Amino acid sequence: MFHTGLRSGTAVQAADESAPDSELYFQRCRWCHTTTFQRLLCPTCGSTDLAPELSGGEGVISVRRGVAAADNDLWPVHMTEGFVVRCRVDGPPHAVRPGVRVKVSGAAASGRRPVVRLCEEVPLDGWY
């Protein structure tokens, strides 16, 4: 059985959360232990022996470069396990920027891209 991507989790919720937690699966190469997301081959050694693993779901927003207009709402997120996944970020526009910690919160309406929420409040920094 091969799992990658998001799968809805249980409906266990914290008091301040409105959406159920979700599970994010990534792949780890059994040969060189490189982590990746939704690939057929290991990006390091080219092996096809990739094992699915459950991510902790936490990461940090990274810098975007060369963003097409169609992908303007997607941000690269470096997950703690070492792989990068492009996500939709649920949060106020002033707070969505590189260096902000995020956690997986669900799947997008299309079911293709993970949705992450901010782990901390980000101040306006004097800009309105």
- Could you tell me if residue 18 is inside a domain? yes
Tell me the pLDDT of the chain averaged across its residues.
80
For the chain, give the percent of residues with pLDDT over 90.
52
For the domain that residue 59 is a member of, what is the CATH number?
2.40.50.140
Q: Write the CA distances from 56 to 48, 72, 79, 110, integer angstroms.
A: 24, 26, 8, 23
- Could you tell me if residue 59 is inside a domain? yes
Which carries the bigger pLDDT value, residue 110 or residue 92? 92
Q: Which of 68-72, 84-88, 117-121 has the lowest mean pLDDT?
A: 68-72
In the chain, the number of structural domains is 1
Residue 123's pLDDT band, with cuts at 50, 70 and 90, is low
Contact (CB, 8 A) for 79 and 59: yes
Q: Is the pLDDT of residue 57 over 90?
A: yes
Q: Which of 32-41, 69-78, 110-119 has the lowest mean pLDDT?
A: 110-119
- Could you tell me if residue 125 is inside a domain? no
Q: What pLDDT is attached to residue 7? A: 47
Write phi, then psi, for 80 (nearest 5 degrees).
-60, -25
- Could you tell me if residue 123 is inside a domain? no
Q: Is the pLDDT of residue 54 over 50?
A: yes
Distance CA 87, CA 37 (A): 12
- Could you tell me if residue 128 is inside a domain? no
- Could you tell me if residue 106 is inside a domain? yes
Distance CA 4, CA 76 (A): 17
Sign of the torsion formed by the C-alpha atoms of 100, 104, 107 and 109: negative
Host domain of residue 55: 5-118
Residues 104-124 have a mean pLDDT of 75
Single pTM value for the model: 0.73
